[in-house]
Amino acid sequence: MKLKEELEKLEGTLLIIGSLNEEIFSTLDSNKKIKETFYLCNSENSLDDDIEDNVGNVANNINLKELHKYFKNGVDNIYCNYDDIKNHIPAFIRESLRVTKKNIYIYFKYKNDYKKIAKKYKRYKLNCNFYSLDDFNVGVIEANDIIVHLPKETYYYFVDNIEKIYNYISDNI
């Protein structure tokens, strides 16, 4: 399994957003090269006490739109669940590129969701890989110290928000 091998090679700092797949969590938890792990969750009750001790810093009050303010030195890798960020895609894409030094791992249930996200990251000329496993799919975006210029970032953020509004209106008509 290529994904498990890739997760075992992770080192440095890790930002986890949302709920975890148990298989992925055990792989990340056993990796001794990960120096520090930050876990962003939606509610205080989303983690068991024993998991909370293993994960590290748990934050409930950090706004996804302002990740760069909390992680000024950046994080090496981000692992997140698409279901937990799908309502904040424009902000997540902008902020993930601002704070990530290496890779972004996104857990998906459906391949269509991966295609939507990969299309948005490919605008920045990033490599996107897809791993289909038994119960889930994972997209890996190779950010590798990308530098995004403010006009381009602002333009894509605006376009993504317009698309989000259009989708919301069309779904509710």
CA pair distance 35, 11, nearest whole angstrom:
7
Q: How far from the centroid of its chain's Cα atoms is residue 48's Cα? A: 21
Closest Cα to residue 107, out of 68, 133, 81, 75?
A: 81
DSSP code at position 18: S
- Which domains are seen in the chain, by residue range? 2-171 (3.40.50.150)
SS3 call for 76: strand
The pLDDT, as a whole number, for residue 169 is 94
Query: Where does 64-143 have alpha helices with state H?
Result: 67-70, 82-85, 89-99, 111-122
CA pair distance 157, 138, nearest whole angstrom:
24
> For the segment 58-109, what is each residue's pLDDT rounded down to a tens digit?
555 567 888 888 888 889 999 898 988 888 899 999 999 999 999 999 988 8
The pLDDT, as a whole number, for residue 34 is 86
Closest Cα to residue 143, out of 164, 131, 126?
A: 126
Q: Is the pTM of this model over 0.85?
A: no
The pLDDT, as a whole number, for residue 40 is 83
Closest Cα to residue 55, out of 81, 29, 24?
A: 29
> For the segment 131-154, what is each residue's pLDDT rounded down to a tens digit?
887 778 889 999 987 888 889 999
CA pair distance 146, 20, nearest whole angstrom:
26
CA distances from 169 to 113, 115, 158 (A): 19, 22, 17
Give the pLDDT band (50/70/90) at residue 47. Answer: very low
CA pair distance 13, 37, nearest whole angstrom:
6
CA pair distance 113, 139, nearest whole angstrom:
10
> For the segment 4-35, what is each residue's pLDDT rounded down to a tens digit?
777 788 888 988 888 777 777 777 778 888 88
Give the pLDDT band (50/70/90) at residue 56. Answer: low
